[in-house]
Chain A
C-alpha cells in the first residue's frame, strides 16, 4: 500500500536541516486544533525587523487559538459544543464570523453533493471516534444529514433538525483559519510566508527566500510548487477504529451515514482557498466519484489508492515529478 506523506519546508526529521530555515525566516511553532502549526515569515522581503515579524506571527497564533476555542468539540465552552448541546428545533444565534463559516460549509456541502458535511460529526460520534460506547450504539435510522440543520439569514441562527445531530468542523477548521491568516498577513504587509497545520493543511504566500514558489513534497515521488496556493490533505486511515473485526478510517461518508469505504487512501487538493482545499480533500476521500466532478474547478487533485500511480488532475500546473524538483 502506498501511503504518502507531506514534507513541508519547515517540517524536518533532522534538526540540523532547520538551520537554513531559521536563518532566513521568522519561525513560530505552536499547538492548536489537535496538531502542530508552523509558520515561516520572510521578514526581509517585507522590510520588517525580527521582533516585529515575530509579533505578527504571534497574532496569527492568537487567531488560530481563538478559532480553536470557538470550534473545538473537545472544548465544552466552544460554540460548536454549545450548538451540539442545543436541542433540535431551538434556534442558536451566531455571530457574523461564525455565521459566515457555517454558510461557507453549506456552500461546500452543496458543491460536493453532500460528501462534505459538518454534520458528519454525528457519524464520528456514532462510530466511536469521539465519545463513549453509548453514543457508539446510537441509532442513525431515518437521519438525513443533508437536512441536519437549517441556517436562518434573517436571525443569523442555526437550528438542528434532530437531537442526534452533532456538528464537527474538523474537516475545514484549519483551512478556514489559514484563509483568515492570509488576509491578516497581507494587511500587515507580509506577502511571503508559509504556514501549515499538522502538515495536512498548508498555505503558501508569495515565494520562498530564493524567489521560487514554495516547494512541498507529496510522498516520495512528487513535489508541488506552491505560488500563493493552499493544500489540503485527507488520509482516511490516519485514525481508525475496529468494529466486528473490520477497520474503519476516520473519514465519514455523510451520504451513506457510515465510514467511507473505498479504495482511496489519500487525497491532496491544491486550491486558492485553504478552506476549500481542506473540505474538498475530505469530500473526495469520502466519495471518490466527486474527483471527476471537481475537474471543472480551479484545483489540482492527487488521489492515491493501492496502485503505484495516483490519479493526478493538475490544471494549476503545480505538480512536478521529484526529478524536476528545483535545487
Chain B
C-alpha cells in the first residue's frame, strides 16, 4: 500500500459514518449516458449467454439486437429471451449484417480466439467472457488484436467491477489488513459439469469443459476468475504453482479431475492455497486474505472484514453491520453504505441486488459511453488466464510449474 492510499483512506475514515463514502454508490452505477441507443449482440446462447441477455436488458438505452449460436436449440432459447432480436448461426453472418454496435462473447473458451478477433477487427465494442482462451498462444493472439481495436474491449473477470470487491479492496489497500500473511480461496459446487443431449455429436460439442484438449479443468475455468482477485488486490502475480487432483466422485469415463487443489507461490514467499471440487458444495465460492490486523472474506455478492482483537478500532465501526460466524464476528462490507445508513436501511444493503455479471456489463457499457477504460482489460485477463493454465498444468502433471507472464 502506498502512503497516498493510506492517507486517502484515513481521511475518509476519520471517525464517522462517512467512512463508507469510499464505497462505490450503487445508485451511481448505471447512470452513464449513451449518445444513442446501443445495439448489443450476444454470441453464445448457453446458460451464461442467456444470463448476459437478462442483465443487459436491465440497462437503459441498451437492447439485445442479435443472438448468435451454432446450436439451433440454444439459439432459439436465446431468442426467446431477447424480444425482437435477430438470430444468426455464425458470428461472420452477424457482423456482416452491420446491425450491431457491440457484442458480448459467451461462447466456449476454446472458441474465443476466432470469435473475439473477428469481432475486434470488425470495429465493434467487445465484452469477452473469461478465461480468455484455453492456450497461451490464443491469449497472445487476442491481446495482439486488441492493440488496433477501435471499440472498447473488456474482459469478464468480474471481481474487478463488483461493488463489494471494490469496497473491500479499499480496505485491503489501506491499513485495515496491515501485513498480508497468506491467501486462500475455494470453489465448491456439487454438479456433474455434464450438459445432457441425446445426440452424441451435440453432446460432444456441448461438453467441452470435460475435454482436456479444449479446456483447462477447474483451475482454468473457475480458478482464473478467483486468481485475478488476488492479482488485482496485491498488484502481484504468482511465480510458481504446484498442485494435484483426481476424479473422486463421478465414476463415468471422464478424465478431467472433479477435485483439485493447488498452491500458488509469489516472489515474496506469500502463498495462495486454492481448492475446487464438483463433488461437494460446502462453503461455496469465496476468497480470503489473512492479514496481521484483519482478514477479508469475499463471496461475490457478500464480503466481510474480520478484525484481530489487537487491531485499532476506527470510528465508523460503531455504525457497522455485523454477522457472527461461530467464534468470529464479521463486519459486513456493504456497497452504498453511507446512503443506506442515513436512511436507516444498512441491513437491507447486505448482499448485492444484482449478480456479478450485471456490474461487469454495466462497467463495459459505461466505458463505451464515457470513453474510459473498462475495469478489466484484455491484458489483465490474459495474465490471469495464463496463471490458470499453469495451475491446471501443475495439477495434471503433478509437477511444480514456473509461471511465465513475459510478453503479456
Contacts and interface: CB of A to CB of B under 8 A. Distances in A.
Interface of A: 49, 51-52, 54-56, 58-59, 62, 66, 69-70, 75-77, 82, 93-97, 99, 156, 187-189
A317 B358 CA distance: 49
Given A51-B250, A77-B353, A96 B195 contact: no
Contacts of B353: 75-77
A70 B53 CA distance: 12
Contacts of A49: 252
Interface stretch (B78-86, B381-389, B391-399): B78-86
A188 B58 contact: no
A56 B79 CA distance: 22
Q: Per DSSP, are chain B's interface residues mostly helix, strand or loop, or mixed? A: loop
A62 B196 CA distance: 13
Contact of B192 (A54, A66, A75): A54
B57 interface: yes
A75 B358 CA distance: 14
5 nearest A-B pairs in the assembled complex, by CB-CB distance: A55-B194, A76-B353, A51-B252, A96-B80, A77-B354
B47 interface: yes
A321 B358 CA distance: 53
B355 A99 contact: no
Given A51-B252, A187-B198, 15 more contacts: A51-B250, A52-B252, A55-B195, A56-B196, A58-B192, A58-B194, A62-B47, A66-B50, A69-B355, A76-B353, A77-B353, A93-B83, A156-B83, A188-B198, A189-B198
Name, among B47, B57, B82, B198, the residue most crowded by chain A CB atoms within 10 Å (CB to CB): B198
Contacts, number: 59
B191 interface: yes
B80 A82 contact: no
Contacts of B24: none
B151 interface: no
Interface in B243-298: 250-252
Contacts of A93: 57, 83
A55 B83 CA distance: 29
A55 B196 contact: yes
A75 B57 CA distance: 16
B54 interface: yes
Nearest to A51: B252
B194 A77 contact: no
A59 B196 contact: yes
A326 to B, nearest CB: 32
A51 B355 CA distance: 29
14 contacts: A51-B192, A51-B250, A52-B252, A54-B192, A59-B195, A59-B196, A69-B355, A75-B353, A76-B354, A82-B58, A94-B83, A156-B84, A188-B198, A189-B198
Contacts of B80: 95-97
A76 B250 CA distance: 36
Contact of B81 (A58, A69, A96): A96
A66 B250 CA distance: 25
Given A76-B353, A76-B354, A82-B58, A52 B81 contact: no
A99 B81 CA distance: 10
A58 B191 contact: yes
Contacts of A76: 353-354
Nearest to A188: B196
Contacts of A77: 58, 353-355, 358
A69 to B, nearest CB: 8
A70 B251 CA distance: 35
A99 B192 contact: no
Nearest to B191: A58
A180 to B, nearest CB: 11
Nearest to B77: A97
A66 B48 CA distance: 11
Contacts of A56: 196
Interface in B324-367: 353-355, 358
Contacts of A187: 198
Interface string B76-106: 0001111110000000000000000000000
A99 B83 contact: yes
A95 B57 contact: yes
Contacts of A156: 83-84
Contacts of B198: 187-189
Contacts of B354: 76-77
Contact of B196 (A52, A95, A97): A52
User: Which of B50, B57, B194 has the largest number of chain A CB atoms within 10 A?
Assistant: B194
Interface string B195-229: 11110000000000000000000000000000000
Given A51-B250, A77-B354, A95 B83 contact: yes
